[in-house]
Amino acid sequence: MDIYKINDVGELIKDNEYVGRGIVIGKTANGKKAAAAYFIMGRSANSRNRIFTEKNGEIFTEPFDASKVEDPSLIIYAAVRQQANNLIVTNGDQTDTIYEGLEKGLFFGKTLESRCFEPDAPNFTPRISGMLTFENGDFSYRMSILKSIDAEGTDCARYGFAYPSKAGLGHFIHTYVCNGNPIPTFQGEPERVMIPDDIDAFTATLWNALNEDNKISLWVRYVDLATGEKEERIINKNK
């Protein structure tokens, strides 16, 4: 087993019916850009009734058809926000928790101590979060997963990961291992994946690999480390 293997993220996803929501963060192969991506999938009509929208550089999940929304509490939120030199990406309203904590001077991990997995028994969907911190023409990044410690949801297990940026290397964390009932939650460390130089190639790899029935939306952003210039792509299955 090669523990340092860098995987093709498309190969990790393509035969998996349901990986849930996923975050990828890393640096392009040429070392010139930071990359971040977030996608959502859904099995229920309520979950599938969503799109990504961009407002002032922030990304939100919103209903595609507002008349069909059943319960907005776990599906409508700010997924991407910028706080000073920190880019926050999460799968829930903990985006705001992290943002507000950073504003108070708290560290990334500390901001999440008040949060736990989602209250959607029996799945107890994990809260996954990522943050890129830009400084001195480069960046580092952190990832977190908050998940149930047992099948009954009696308490929360908290895992945090910190990475320096390395050319061509990214990390991929997602909420579920695969489909199931209940759905098994993500296990182990974030998976090591390749980050290509071309944002369109990366976007296509992710979108095309996601299960056709269950994929909903994808956001990808590349940031030039020398100039700060941003490239962004959003794909919504609902149009």
* Per-residue pLDDT at 73: 79
Question: What's the CA gap between 147 and 125, in Å, rounded?
Answer: 7
Question: What's the CA gap between 15 and 83, in Å, rounded?
Answer: 36
Question: What's the CA gap between 187 and 48, in Å, rounded?
Answer: 25
Query: pTM for this one?
Result: 0.97
Element (H, E) at 215: strand 215-224
pLDDT per position as a tens digit, 210-222: 999 999 999 999 9
Q: Is the pLDDT of residue 66 over 90?
A: no
- Cα 27 to its chain centre, rounded Å, is 15
Question: What's the CA gap between 194 and 95, in Å, rounded?
Answer: 25
On average, the pLDDT of the chain sits at 96
Question: What's the CA gap between 99 and 88, in Å, rounded?
Answer: 8
pLDDT per position as a tens digit, 71-94: 887 788 999 999 999 999 999 999
Considering the segment(s) 9-236 as one domain, its CATH architecture is 4-Layer Sandwich (3.60)
pLDDT per position as a tens digit, 168-209: 999 999 999 999 999 999 999 999 999 999 999 999 999 999
Q: What is the DSSP letter of 36?
A: E
Domain ranges of the chain: 9-236
Structure tokens at 44: 């229920």
